[in-house]
Amino acid sequence: MFFTYLRRELRRRRKAALVVASGLALGIALVIVVNSVSAGMGKAQEKVLQSLYGLGTDMTVTKAAEASAAQERPRFRFDAQEDGSGEEQSTDHVMVQGFQTLASSTVGEVGEQSGVADAVGGLSLQVVKVSGEFTRGRFQQDGGQDGRSGQKGGPGGAQPAPEGRVQGGGADFDVNSYSVYGTDVTEPELGPLTSSRITSGRTFKASETDAKVAVVDSAHAKEKKLETGDTVTVKGTKYKIIGIATADSGDAAAHLYIPLKQAQELADAKGKVTTIYVRATDSQQLDAVKSGIQKNVAGTTVTTSADLADTVSGSLSTASSLATGVGKWLSIAVLAAAFLVAGLLTSSAVSRRVREFGTLKALGWTSGRVTRQVVGEAVVHGLVGGALGIALGLAGAYAVTAVSPTLQAQLGGGGGGAGGPAGGPGGGGMAGPVRQAATKTLDVALTAPVSLITIALAVGLAVAGGLVAGAFGGWRASRLRPADALRRVA
């Protein structure tokens, strides 16, 4: 009897049911889109952080800034040539990024700390290459005289200096700067290289700890027209290119990757690292691990992914703030309004059915049965609205993903951490590759993935909306008396 009456009433009041369902659908659709976009923002931020830290890295450990540390200034020396003209000369100056290093033994200390699953060190370098040639000028005397001014000899018979000028000559030099990262090839699961895919050739082997091999970032390889099998020369040492890596975020941590031991030799930094990449046993306990490392390993600064996320700015940060703040509050407000409107419409519909419900009570229906009937109809309205809302929400999320608007992420940060030679000591507490990437703007395509949890939330909201509307109408219906129906009978 319940379902028969329910089906008949829903068919008879299709327009009213559609109005209530549509209101709920809009609120539910907005919730789905906002949650999906927020999830997409989270993935975009993770992508940015992975491009800086490396996949699987929870935190980095660097040397604490020293206020008294002196900056190293690059100096370039060129040998004198016999004629000084026409022969190209070049020199490489290799500097440690940030001029702050830790002893390699610190990697072991960090790895022994409670909550640390794995730790690996790396050395970030900046190479400044100056190349070009000198051209000797020619001296030309005034008045066309051959090295003489026409004046008489001075006292003691000395000849006066010829008068004239030097024409031509000079120097033409090109300055090229690029980054080199020394990676521990025995630990391929941690570090900045893990955020890149090998698109040509191969990555390092565990046995190549001191091999003269290199992996080149694809953008740098394209600019310099490099391929696997070619060689690159750094400070007179030739490295064979074994692979080309493409960064997932579009911006690599370094232009060139070589084994850690080779990087230490280039920079005269034997037994030194600039960055220790750490993976925690439990990603939910990062604060405790961070505190333990800073307490037990002296002279270090620990930066977690959460710390780094606070420095992300640009349109990605702005859109994320809008999605998590304004978007969520807007969806809550719209959903609350939809529930309220559905309740009022249901209550209004009950008022127009006074004669019907009064007659049913006169025939023996109890107030509870009438209330259940009204609530049942409202729940069906909510489920229909939920189905429509899920369809609209999925369509909206698909549209966002299909369009894939590009957002920009910029890393601001603490002090002077530039990737070039001007970077000061300890700038901002971020090391090598992170320091370099902080000066870049990353373009990230926004997606809006819809999870099963979001769908379940939509169904729950649909049922909740129906119950809220049913509560309004059921309360009104329970107060009706059979006498009210008899008074309205013509």
Q: Note the pLDDT tens digit of each residue in 400-426.
A: 888 776 665 555 543 333 333 333 333
Among the candidates 233, 266, 298, a domain finishes at: 298
How big, in percent rounded to 5, are the helix, strand and coil portions of the chain? 45, 25, 30
**Percentage of the chain exceeding pLDDT 70:** 63
| 262 & 342 share domain | no
Q: What is the pLDDT of residue 421?
A: 31
| 227 & 333 share domain | no
The answer to whether the beta carbons of residues 220 and 230 sit under 8 Å apart is no
Cα–Cα distance measured from residue 230 to residue 249, given in angstroms and rounded to the nearest whole number: 26
Sign of the Cα pseudo-torsion (429, 432, 435, 438, in order): negative
Q: Which domain holds residue 389?
A: 2-51+315-405+446-488
SS3 431: coil
Contacting residues for 255 by C-beta, under 8 A, at least 6 apart: 178, 179, 180, 216, 217, 220
| 185 & 230 share domain | yes
The answer to whether the beta carbons of residues 316 and 408 sit under 8 Å apart is yes
Counting as low any pLDDT under 70, the low residues of the chain are 1-10, 12, 42, 44-56, 66-88, 90, 99, 134, 136-137, 139-164, 166-173, 249-252, 305-306, 308-328, 330-331, 351-352, 354, 405-444, 476-490
| 231-234/59-63 β-pairing | unpaired
Distances (CA, A) of 63 to 101, 298, 340, 427, 431: 6, 9, 58, 11, 8
| 276 & 349 share domain | no
Cα–Cα distance measured from residue 422 to residue 97, given in angstroms and rounded to the nearest whole number: 10
Q: Is residue 462 part of a domain?
A: yes
| 238 & 126 share domain | yes
Q: Is residue 36 part of a domain?
A: yes
The answer to whether the beta carbons of residues 444 and 51 sit under 8 Å apart is no
Beta strand extents in 154-195 (DSSP E only): 164-167, 170-183
Give me 259's structure tokens.
């084994």
Among the candidates 269, 298, 327, a domain finishes at: 298
Q: Is residue 303 part of a domain?
A: no
| 359 & 475 share domain | yes
Q: Is residue 21 part of a domain?
A: yes
| 341 & 453 share domain | yes
Cα within 13 Å of Cα(80), Cβ side = 1
Cα–Cα distance measured from residue 268 to residue 263, given in angstroms and rounded to the nearest whole number: 8
Count up the domains in the chain and report the number. Answer: 2
| 396 & 339 share domain | yes
| 223 & 258 share domain | yes
| 209 & 284 share domain | yes
Q: Is residue 305 part of a domain?
A: no
| 44 & 69 share domain | no
Among the candidates 298, 329, 358, a domain finishes at: 298
Q: What is the pLDDT of residue 333?
A: 76
Closest CA to 420 of 401, 440, 406: 440
| 291 & 380 share domain | no
Q: Is residue 472 part of a domain?
A: yes
Q: Is residue 433 part of a domain?
A: no
The answer to whether the beta carbons of residues 354 and 322 sit under 8 Å apart is no
Give phi and psi for 285, each to the nearest 5. -115, 30
Q: Is residue 341 part of a domain?
A: yes
The answer to whether the beta carbons of residues 264 and 121 sit under 8 Å apart is no
